[in-house]
């Protein structure tokens, strides 16, 4: 696999860092997950199966678990040794905590100049809010994402997935891989400072036009991706389900309006805005006349962008995911997501099993013994 031979120490919890390190483990890296004696809090997130939480199954797979008490001198010494022997460290403590544990970047770099060290924090290492805690929802609020995500009552609606967590993990992953690539030339690692705040703010590049140009908040209900386009909306069907139209290119507009006998309305859909109300009202009335499956069968005959609003059980049973083998069932009947990045000539082979707490503590003894042999 692409990352065989890469040694990673994972000091992160919850989603941003583990999302990053799971991708590394899926492609062959040895990821040592350092846990406190009580275990990663992710192990307790409900629901659980007979082994552990489903969350930890997804974020812990393929990793090694070692337990270290970082409040003890021995625990900190063991962690420093692991860090000095690693290629990559990923941590998600508040700024300054890793240094207090003796494994800050400068301390590790002094012993291991090849280290690629990634810190993911809410506001960055040197931001305006040093030491301030924040999870995804606070950052969605601060970046304006919630002000763009409105319910029917006009109030901010909480998105269904933690977007800041995911995009910061992906930015961290790209930073780690860039630093590893550069290290092949320079022989030196680097420090990566990922701010979840910045990662999510950068994800708003397509919606900040009015804020950048006029210092104004957009008229959300009339924007092309937040309600102002008939071809980018959610519609109810006769059976209480929903479908979406999700393609605003003129060919898709003409295909559907032509098929429904309203080709002259295509001109109204060139730009988003209140002038599209007749088209929206027409779709609202039309889609309510038949159940969801009728419309899925009908829309499949046209070249347009559409989809059903699936429940999660329906989503993981989607024929496309099954055909491509993305949904994996292990020997114990437990479901897993397959890797998203697929290499043709050197595919990944993930280990669909999460470690027991402290299952690989022998690695601490083995690494210490190897170091003593080298010293002698």
Average pLDDT for 298-310: 97
**Residue 372 in this model has a pLDDT that exceeds 60:** no
Cβ contacts of 112 within 8 Å, gap of 6 or more: 83, 84, 85, 86, 189
- Catalytic machinery residues: 165
Instruction: Give CA–CA dist 29/22, Å, rounded.
Output: 9
Which of these, 128, 130, 59, 64, lies nearest to 97 by C-alpha position? 130
**Exposed, middle or buried by CB within 10 Å (0-12, 13-18, 19+), for 185?**
exposed
Average pLDDT for 301-316: 97
Q: What is the pLDDT of residue 226?
A: 86
pTM of the model: 0.93
Instruction: Give CA–CA dist 117/186, Å, rounded.
Output: 16
Instruction: Give residue-wise pLDDT tens across range 249-270.
Output: 999 999 999 999 999 999 999 9
Q: What is the pLDDT of residue 227?
A: 83
Cβ contacts of 344 within 8 Å, gap of 6 or more: none
Q: Which range has the worst mean pLDDT, 23-32, 43-52, 117-126, 313-322?
A: 43-52
Q: What is the pLDDT of residue 367?
A: 59
H-helix or E-strand spanning residue 150 = none
Kindly list the structural domains of the chain, giving each domain's residue range(s) and its CATH number in brackets, ordered by start: 7-203+339-375 (3.40.50.10540), 232-315 (3.30.1540)
Instruction: Give residue-wise pLDDT tens across range 3-29.
Output: 999 999 999 999 999 999 999 999 999
């Amino acid at each position: 696999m692409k990352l065989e031979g890469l040694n990673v120490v994972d000091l992160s919890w919850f989603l941003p860092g583990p999302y990053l390190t799971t991708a590394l483990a899926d492609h062959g890296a040895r990821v040592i997950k350092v846990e406190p004696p009580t275990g990663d809090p992710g192990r307790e997130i409900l629901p659980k199966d007979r082994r552990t939480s489903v969350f930890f199954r997804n974020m812990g797979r393929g990793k090694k678990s070692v337990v270290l008490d970082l409040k003890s001198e021995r625990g900190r010494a063991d962690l420093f040794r692991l860090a000095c022997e690693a290629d990559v460290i990923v941590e998600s403590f508040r700024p300054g905590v890793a240094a207090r544990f003796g494994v800050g970047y400068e301390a590790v770099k002094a012993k291991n100049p090849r280290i690629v060290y990634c810190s993911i924090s809410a506001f960055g290492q040197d931001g305006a809010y040093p030491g301030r805690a924040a999870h995804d929802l606070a950052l969605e609020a601060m970046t304006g994402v919630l002000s763009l995500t409105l319910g029917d009552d006009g109030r901010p609606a909480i998105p269904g997935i933690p977007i800041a967590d995911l995009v910061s993990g992906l930015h961290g992953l790209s930073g780690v891989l860039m630093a590893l690539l550069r290290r092949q030339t320079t022989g030196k690692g680097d420090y990566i400072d990922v701010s979840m705040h910045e990662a999510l703010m950068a994800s708003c590049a397509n919606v900040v036009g009015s804020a950048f140009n006029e210092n104004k908040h957009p008229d959300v209900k009339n924007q092309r991706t937040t309600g102002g386009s008939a071809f980018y909306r959610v519609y109810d069907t006769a059976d209480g389900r929903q479908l979406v139209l999700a393609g605003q290119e003129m060919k898709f507009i003409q295909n559907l309006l032509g098929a429904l006998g309203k080709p002259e309305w295509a001109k109204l859909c060139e730009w988003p805005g209140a002038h599209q109300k007749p088209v929206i009202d027409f779709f609202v009335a039309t889609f309510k006349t038949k159940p969801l499956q009728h419309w899925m069968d009908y829309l499949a005959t046209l070249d347009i962008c559409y989809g059903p609003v699936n429940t999660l059980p329906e989503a993981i049973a989607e024929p496309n995911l099954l055909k491509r083998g993305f949904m994996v069932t292990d020997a114990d009947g437990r479901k897993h997501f397959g890797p998203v990045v697929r290499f043709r000539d050197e595919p990944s082979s993930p280990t669909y099993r999460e470690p027991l707490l402290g299952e690989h503590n022998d690695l601490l003894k083995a690494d210490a013994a190897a170091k003593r042999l080298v010293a002698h």
